[in-house]
Chain A
Amino acid sequence: MKKDQTKNTEKNENYSLNDDRRVKMLSPGALVAKRFFRNRLAVTGLIILAFMFSFSYIGGIISPYEEDQKFYRVEAQLKDYAGAIRNTEFRYTTADASVFSSAAQAKAFLAISGGESSYVYRDVTYELEELSPELYIIRVGGEIVGIASKYIVSSSTSNEDFPFEFTLNSLEAYLDGSGFEAEGKIYEIDEDGVVTESGTEVAYISDYIVRAVAGDVFLTREFKTKLIETIESGSTEFVYTDEKGETYEYKLTFNNANSSWNIKRETDRTVYDNYAFPTKEHWLGLDGNGMDMLTRLMYGGRVSLRIGFIVVFIETFLGVIMGGISGYFGGWVDMLIMRIVDVFYCIPSLPIFVILGAAMSAANLDSEIRMLFLMLIIGFLGWPGVARLVRGQILSLREQEFMTATEATGISVSRRIFRHLVPNVIPQLIVTCTMGLGDTILTEATLSFLGIGVSFPYASWGNIISDVTNLETLTHYLHVWIPAGILLLLTVLAFNIVGDGLRDAFDPKMKR
């Protein structure tokens, strides 16, 4: 090998000055590449593009999260839990199958406070028997119709009320501190007012009324005792562990209007962790739907790039065919196609996108189909530029000698166009396509920003930034919109720089 090389150099020295072999030969492609890579700016653009592609395609695979995976956070929330009131008024319980109207009850209250032993309401005489200042029995003609009590008998196991007999007997028993019998069962009562039946607690008596806000919540005596202790100690919060072992913090507020206490419980609620700031797990934080920003950006990049490529493909495909035919045949074909191009040039594309986008939104089209339509529309309105370029190039190439040669050798028309003319247009085409990619991505982003392009759940850089229309996002959650904007800017810029570099590299008139 080494020998060969030395041989070569020796040979080189022997060549005459105008010998071709003295010059290192490069293919046109290699020349273009060489010129391109000498352009530092263009190489930077290429590196940015390489980064964007790996960011979107490889990044999406590496990322531990899904495109639309939502993250939650637990938020402590104070919720109304119960209400408590110290009972200072008489509460009436009506005996079974008796009539004791609320008006008669009101009268009873007056009679009690007046110290009377009986009163008349609607021709019925009610007799009052005072067992204690807190407990009165009301009779009509010797029959008990009800009781007026400041104590309340509550069940230890449910929210249900007790039969009248049980209530009356337990209250009586509470006053004399002995046991009692009701409905054939024997109950014990202690001085705290706890009623037990052969060791099992069934009810208790107290002068506090505690009710849960939600109807299906049963408050245990233990909880109420704790609550009453807290109220009586003047504190405003307590911690209680219920029988299921769940510990909550409770906060009390006193309501002056009806001298009751409001008990609020701190409950944990799971909410979307929206607009969370960057953390170790989520490098760019979370967006407004609680989705990982970085992952959204990666998938958004895929969507933007894919749309860009497909649209440019459609544009180029239509453009090359129309421009090629137009430029090659000339005459009335050229005339016709160029007028079509003129017509398409004048169609205002942005308004059309907006109208169709609004109609698609109204029709609630599936996101996937929407994206497809979007690409077709942008592509279909974009081909005239390519067609003009191809036609112009072909018009000038057509007159050159190599085309006369193809004609002379009798090559078929389609072969002449697509094998000999089009390849010569390709350098220009590549430049236009590269820049067109940037353009398309920008258009798509603008439409998505306006909410008429790529729609949720798909991410696109444009619809990620569109959150900025929310004033709070604009001012506070910079991590939601700035990264997407920078990625978008860099990608479009890189496509333009590379396109520019390619143009310079292809241009044989280039100075360097």
Chain B
Amino acid sequence: MRKYIIKRVLLSVLILFFVGFIIYCLMRCLPTSYIEQMARQRSMQPGSKSFEEWMAQLSATYGMDKGLILGYFGWLGNVVRGNFGDSWYFTVPVVEKFHDTVWLSFVMGFISFFFELIIAIPLGIIAATKQYSKTDYTVSIIALAGISLPTFFFASLLKLVFAVKFKWFDLYGLVGRMYDQLTPMGQLLDKANHLVLPIVTLVVCSMGGLMRYTRTNMLEVLNADYIRTARAKGLSERRVIYHHAFRNTLIPIVTIIGGTLPGLFSGALITETLYSLPGIGFTSYTAMRSGDIPFSMFYMVFLAILTLTGNLLADILYAVVDPRVRIS
């Protein structure tokens, strides 16, 4: 087991190395005029460094004057030491900005993930146990609709109904206008109020996948021989489904949940942008749109690490949870 984990971790590091290289190449492929233009624009901002300083920092960090390979290793050295440079757009060190924003994204991601689980898994299981019934069709359609729903369209509808018509929530932002006058408890509630619509958007648009996954897996388990045996033994249907089948369905689900966990930090780029929430997604979107190279590079590397960690976690969990899996 330990050998397997070590092997996987090493492999992940190797993959990360190449992913980093591709991302680095991409950045180097951007037209220099574009980079210079963006740096010049950014250097006009109050409190910003001068254009020459940005460019000097950029060439120092990314080894622009060196070749592709040498430059990459130079950059990698910086990255390993946690030095991602200063953000052009926010004029603070990238890592500092990251610390300021990632937690909001995590809280949002975590809450919506929780709701996703408690809605999607039961529905998926019910649909599978009543295959081809009305419930099954309804759940399938809901799941498919969730997958097919364009986030921006759904968010706009939510805004129209709940923010414009009913005026229950604000259209944008994390805090209301009166935030500073509120008591600490009131401030918390204000933030919670502003997070309702984004979380609903996230849950609805992402639960479809898990619902379908649960249903498919449950169907597979229900067709297994040991379920037939359980039924043949004369166990009650309840016990067959919730004791024997459910536990076995959990194996792939736990795996996939484990794989999703790191993703909670990645932020919801589209949703955060739609609601102008200062999470990591919206922040990086702003940075990327305005050609803030240091921040964009950081975000991409960060996402790559999260994906790899997710895969790694899923694989390890799979081996841990399912005793039938023997690792060679």
Contact = CB atoms under 8 A, between A and B. Distances in A.
Interface of A: 41, 339, 342-343, 345-348, 350-352, 354-355, 358-359, 362-363, 438, 442, 445-446, 449-450, 452, 462, 465-466, 468, 471, 474-475, 478, 481, 485, 488-489, 492-493, 495-497, 500, 509, 511-512
Contacts of B290: 358
Nearest to B17: A343
Q: Dominant SS at the A interface? A: helix
A478 B147 CA distance: 24
A489 B159 contact: no
A179 B307 CA distance: 102
A358 B286 CA distance: 11
Contacts of A339: 14-15, 18
Given A355-B296, A465-B156, A485-B157, A346 B144 contact: no
A120 to B, nearest CB: 65
B157 A354 contact: no
Q: Dominant SS at the B interface? A: helix
Contacts of B269: 350-351, 354
Highest count of chain A CB atoms <10 Å: which of B15, B150, B151, B159: B150
Contacts, number: 123
Interface residues on B, range: 35 or more
B30 interface: yes
Interface in B26-82: 26, 30-31, 34, 37-38
Interface of B: 14-16, 18-19, 22-23, 26, 30-31, 34, 37-38, 131-132, 137, 140-141, 144-145, 147-153, 156-157, 159-160, 164, 171, 223, 269-270, 273, 284-285, 288-291, 296, 299-300, 303-304, 307-308, 311
A488 B31 contact: no
A489 B148 contact: yes
Contacts of A485: 150, 153, 156-157
B288 A354 contact: yes
Nearest to A496: B144
B31 A354 contact: no
A336 B153 CA distance: 41
A445 B288 contact: no
Contacts of A342: 15
B303 A348 contact: yes
Nearest to B296: A355
A497 B31 contact: no
A359 B291 contact: yes
Contact of A346 (B16, B137, B148, B299): B16
Contacts of B157: 485
Contact of B145 (A449, A471, A493): A493
Given A351-B303, A450-B273, A485-B157, A471 B308 contact: no
B156 A343 contact: no
Contact of A352 (B26, B131, B273): B26
